[in-house]
Amino acid sequence: MSDKIKVILDCDTGSDDAVAICTALLSPEKLDVLGICTVNGNRPVPNTTENTLRVKDLLGSDVPVIRGCYCPMVKSLDPRREVLETAHSAKGEDGKEITYHAEYLDCLPPSHSKPLPMHAVTWLIDTLMNSEEKITVVPVGPLTNIAMALRLEPRIAEHIEQFVIMGGGHLERNSTAAAEFNIWVDPEAAQIVFESGVKIVLMPLDATHRAYLTPEDSKYFRSLGTKLGDFIAQEIDDRVEAYNLLQPLHIPDIAPMHDALCVAYLLDPSVITDIRHVRVDVDFSGGLCDGETVVDTRLIPPVKPKNCYLCMNTDSDKFASMLRDILSRAKN
């Protein structure tokens, strides 16, 4: 039995998803990435799938990419629940779209590889149910694929080592005053996952806003003279511009790489400096707090069992240093 961690990524690629995928695929000494599922989120699933394939091609990887769900489980049935309060994009002075996530990762060539000819939910169930070793599942987009798989075949929970999820916010939010994007897009899916009984390491915005790269890092990656270095530099530059304009954070001129923190944690858990075992539930009542991750911080016996290891702070320097080291391994 290999001592590598068997991993399935579930992504809505997405600029920071792309950085997470690169970090995972460039860490073969520790991670055995079995597949990358794609889901609706930052962009529609045809786009998130094409973007994932472009990253796969950039790295010359043979990892399978499997297309997943086109929409949330139930939320989009009620148009009143679609109120995104934080703009996802804006027009710059030159008319260029300023956004966290371009329609396509247009600094990469169109993909030449194809997704597997099956649905991600089917692939997840088949892969998990037929695996002799438990698998770590790393969802970094809305949890629709994962929840659908749990609903179709609850026994997959016995084959999952842990979830390492980018999602939620305890004191920090983004999509609305109450919610973080991945959870907000499909709150019901998130609650299904939170009730699965599988160990969950949850990376909310409280931690991922401190997992960032900077214009200095961008200069470093550009100096490498590799396609990957140029791609990472472009994603940093675009995200710094988008955050400065659309969602100023605790310090200016940073590019949070939310999803890559999940991979960094798998590689070195000490990148997280504050982790709490708590009960987390999701509000899916459709009101003001739709999609909120409600953290029970009361010092009383929890009414419901604690279900999440909630990561509340990050060693930002360690994170950036890990990504500089790992992402400079690519030779072209």
Q: Site mask, ligand RIB, residues 172-211, x = CB under 6 A? A: --x-----xxx-----------------------------
Choice from 143, 166, 203, 280 touching ligand RIB (CB under 6 A): 166
What residues numbered 33-72 form the site for ligand RIB, per CB under 6 A?
A: 41-42
What residues numbered 257-296 form the site for ligand RIB, per CB under 6 A?
A: 258-259
Query: Is residue 17 part of the contact set for Ca ion (CB under 5 A)?
Result: yes
Count of residues that interact with Ca ion, criterion CB under 5 A: 6
Nearest to 135 by CA among 5, 13, 283: 5
Q: How far is the CB of 107 from Ca ion (least distance, A)?
A: 18
Q: Which residue has the tokens 């994932």?
A: 52
* Identity of the residue, 140 or 201, whose beta carbon is nearer to Ca ion in the bound complex: 140
SS3 163: strand
E strand map for the chain: 5-11, 31-38, 65-67, 89-91, 97-99, 135-139, 160-166, 200-203, 212-213, 255-256, 272-282, 293-296, 308-314
Residue with smallest beta-carbon separation from ligand RIB: 181
Write out the two tokens for 157. Answer: 């929970």
Choice from 6, 9, 14, 240 touching ligand RIB (CB under 6 A): 14
224 CB-near residues (< 8 Å, 6+ apart): 328
DSSP 94: T
What residues numbered 132-171 form the site for Ca ion, per CB under 5 A?
A: 140-141
Q: How far is the CB of 172 from Ca ion (least distance, A)?
A: 16
The answer to whether 228 and 105 are in contact (CB under 8 A) is no
**CA-based torsion, 260, 266, 270, 273: positive or negative:** positive
- Give the one entry of Ca ion, ligand RIB, none that residue 180 binds, where binding means its C-beta sits below a cut-off of 5 to 8 angstroms depending on kind: ligand RIB
Segment near Ca ion (CB under 5 A); pick from 10-18, 203-211, 242-250, 306-314: 10-18
* Identity of the residue, 203 or 280, whose beta carbon is nearer to Ca ion in the bound complex: 203
* Identity of the residue, 140 or 271, whose beta carbon is nearer to Ca ion in the bound complex: 140
Burial class of residue 76, CB neighbours in 10 A (0-12, 13-18, 19+):
middle
SS3 96: coil
* Identity of the residue, 125 or 137, whose beta carbon is nearer to ligand RIB in the bound complex: 137
Segment near ligand RIB (CB under 6 A); pick from 12-20, 82-90, 107-115, 306-314: 12-20
Write out the two tokens for 247. Answer: 């969602």
Query: Is residue 21 part of the contact set for Ca ion (CB under 5 A)?
Result: no
- DSSP class per residue in 166-202: E---SS--SSSSS--HHHHH-HHHHHHHHTS-S-EEE
250 has catalytic annotation: no
* Identity of the residue, 12 or 292, whose beta carbon is nearer to Ca ion in the bound complex: 12
65 CB-near residues (< 8 Å, 6+ apart): 35, 36, 37, 38, 49, 52, 53, 56, 113, 115, 116
- Give the one entry of Ca ion, ligand RIB, none that residue 181 binds, where binding means its C-beta sits below a cut-off of 5 to 8 angstroms depending on kind: ligand RIB
Choice from 10, 17, 50, 217 touching ligand RIB (CB under 6 A): 17
Residue of 101, 119, 170, 258 marked active site: 258
Catalytic residue ranges: 258
Tell me which residues touch ligand RIB (CB under 6 A).
Answer: 12, 14, 16-17, 41-42, 140-141, 166, 174, 180-182, 258-259
